[in-house]
Amino acid sequence: MKKREQVLLGSLCALLPVSLVLVLWARSHPSQVERLYSLGFYPRWSALLMGATARLPFSLAEWLILAAVVLVVRAGRR
C-alpha cells in the first residue's frame, strides 16, 4: 500500500469514531441540532453554494459524479 493510501485510510479510520460520537450526540439533542444546523449552518452554506453555482448550466452533483467516475476508472487502470 502506498504512503498516500495509508494516510487516507488512517484519516478515514480516525474520523469514524468522531462521526459516531456526533451522531449519538445529535440523536440525544434535537433542539441543539435544530438551532446549530438547521437555523445556523445550513442556510449560510446553502446560500453560498447557490450563489456559486446558480449561473452554471449544470449542477454541482454532476461534477461530483463525474469526478467519482474518473477516480474509479483511474484506480482500475493501476
Q: Which residues contact 38 (CB under 8 A, 6 or more apart)?
A: none
Q: What percent of the chain has pLDDT over 70?
A: 99
pLDDT band at 5 (very low <50, low <70, confident <90, very high): confident
**CA 66 to the chain's CA centroid:** 16
Q: Which grid cell sits at 50?
A: 447557490
CA atoms within 13 A on the CB side of 40: 7
What CA–CA distance (Å, rounded) separates 35 from 31? Answer: 6
Whether pTM > 0.85 for this model: the answer is no
What CA–CA distance (Å, rounded) separates 60 from 64? Answer: 6
Average pLDDT over residues 10-20: 91
Q: Which domain holds residue 47?
A: 3-77
